[in-house]
Chains A and B, each alone.
Chain A
Amino acid sequence: MQDYRHSRWITAALLAPAGVFFVFLLILPLVVVLVYSFGARAPAGGYEAAFTFDNYLNLPARGKAFFNTLTLAPLGTLLTAIAAFPVAYILALKTDPKWRVTLLVLIMAPFWTSQLLRYYAWIMLLGSKGIPSWLAYIGIADLRIINTPTAVLIGAVYGFLPLMVPPIYVSLEKLDKRLLEASADLGATPLRTFFQVTLPLALPGVATGSMLVFILLMGDYILPQYLGGGKVFFIGNALVDLFLQSRNWPYGAAVSVALVLIMFLTISLYMRFILSRTDKRRAALV
């Protein structure tokens, strides 16, 4: 007979690396951030022990960053999902299986070059010598794209599309094709079948992809920095500024706590909404 007396130790040993990682690199820093957020700025910058709500009361001073993040991140996520869905749909339902993997790899291919380089490329494309100058030829003059919310949104869709396509692809690929026949058999036109069967059953994939993109977009500061040019800044940019430039760590900590709370709230509300609209058992598996 196998001796299982040591199995608890084995379990503990297997969990240890992840446990250490989470405790020291996630929970502990979060606690530090939370404690700092109630402190005061030392005269030379940094942290000084105190207990005050001033940092939180002062949050509206960064209202613009919060506003930009909370409008452009959801909008960027939505646009990415809208752009990714047809790609995933064609890949999963209209493509010869032997080409699918190749095409998926091609969609992921931009990740092989540095994100920074790609944003630089977009600065060129969207700058005055790029797309706007081509548009001028056909009579659309003086269009400014770079350093506007539009530029940030274009960058978001471009940058995060490769993350959005795979989860949607997987949920569409798993979709039982006989359900589409059943829908047609019961008199639904192809368009109605799409909205009544295909889309609802692909929602778990859309939710997973959106979650991924939304979280990354909320915390992003490179994208707004490069394509927003300091004019369209996110909370991430505010944090960089607070911690590295003005060295107001407690205020920065309060902004971070606010960001984490907002993310947590939005995500739980969003998940609840998605789960209520789809088959719960399937969604749990995705």
Chain B
Amino acid sequence: MKQVVIEFRKVSKRFGDIAAVIDNNLAVEQGEFLSILGPSGCGKTTSLRMMAGFEQPTSGEVFIRGEKVTGVPAYRRPVNMVFQHYALFPHLSIADNVSYGLRQRSPRPSAGEITKSVDEALDMVRLGGFGKRRTYELSGGQQQRVALARALINRPAVLLLDEPLAALDRKLRREMQVELQNLQRTVGITFLLVTHDQEEALSMSDRVCVMREGRVVQTGSPRDLYDTPINRYVAEFVGKSNFFSAASGNVTSVRPELIDIAARRKDLPQGLAIRTDGRVLNRIFLGEQTEYRIASDELGEFTVVAPRKAEHLSGTFNIGDSISAGWRPEHARLLPDN
């Protein structure tokens, strides 16, 4: 068992009548990259703000490195945050922004030490030589990296990231995802990221914690969450899935890419549990794969994603074509319908 750096013990937070976080028992392990995933209003940002010390829990306790920090203000906590819109100080140069944390320490490090640390931090985020510039001279991606340097220079117990990539465009977001991952491995600091973007959470994290209406629903590795979601909510939020109603409030969940599709039943592979006939309602060409919307008399509508590679066996289908589809028994999961 790895050492726990931040721990919530039955943490709840209410804003008036609204319960933002309910009985949260999150534990962040030393050196991991953990993401809190959920739609807006699920309590993920409030959880983060309680770790940073901007909010205090209504009940429950917060521990950092085993020490109880409930009630301790933000400026006395050994964690640092990368804000959603970076929150760089507009009146300070890049170097002064990055050195801000060091300059608050007492005793204050010498000017030489500060300069050296700032240079190292800026090099780390590939912004060497940018120290004298002003924040408004930088692009969104560069400002993001300054915010990272400004936080990491303090060697925090945990780096808290509040939707750090939300303000970037799609291409830059992908680049920053890779960069964040590399950075985390290089510096070895624990990262805790809050996001509503499942792709972001799955691609970067060691573990993902899915939240809903103030509660943690499931925590696990991205693969665990994808392959063995505990209910329909997680299956729907982490990746896409087809849901077929089953007995006693349960649903059968089948991932679209695990469904085989062919022109006739006899062309389907061996060992399928379910076979059904249907019609192609819609087709979306996505390059590396094609997404079909299928209507079947027995099962209703569902989606199938066929990889390009499978086309030389099954061929392609047009809207209105009759097809057969099926899946292996182990690929269907019976889940509680929330």
Contacts and interface: CB of A to CB of B under 8 A. Distances in A.
Interface of A: 176, 178-179, 181-190, 192-193, 196-197, 200-201, 278-279, 281-282
A2 B89 CA distance: 47
B6 interface: no
B104 A178 contact: no
Contact of B104 (A181, A188, A279): A188
A141 B38 CA distance: 71
B81 interface: yes
B52 A200 contact: no
A188 B85 contact: no
A24 B286 CA distance: 72
Nearest to A193: B75
Interface in B141-163: 150-151, 154
Contact of B100 (A186, A279, A281): A186
B100 A178 contact: no
10 contacts: A178-B83, A181-B74, A181-B87, A182-B88, A184-B54, A185-B75, A186-B151, A188-B75, A281-B90, A282-B90
Contacts of A192: 104
B87 A179 contact: yes
A181 B54 contact: yes
Contacts of B91: 197, 200-201, 278-279, 282
Contacts, number: 71
Interface of B: 52-54, 73-76, 79-81, 83, 85, 87-91, 100-101, 104-105, 134, 136, 150-151, 154
A225 B91 CA distance: 42
Contacts of B154: 186-187
Contacts of A190: 75
Contact of B105 (A176, A178, A187, A282): A187
Contact of A279 (B73, B87, B90): B90
Contacts of A181: 52, 54, 74, 81, 83, 87
A200 B91 CA distance: 7
Closest 10 CB pairs of A and B: A187-B104, A186-B101, A182-B87, A184-B74, A279-B91, A178-B87, A184-B75, A279-B90, A188-B104, A200-B91
Contacts of A281: 90, 134, 136
Nearest to B85: A178
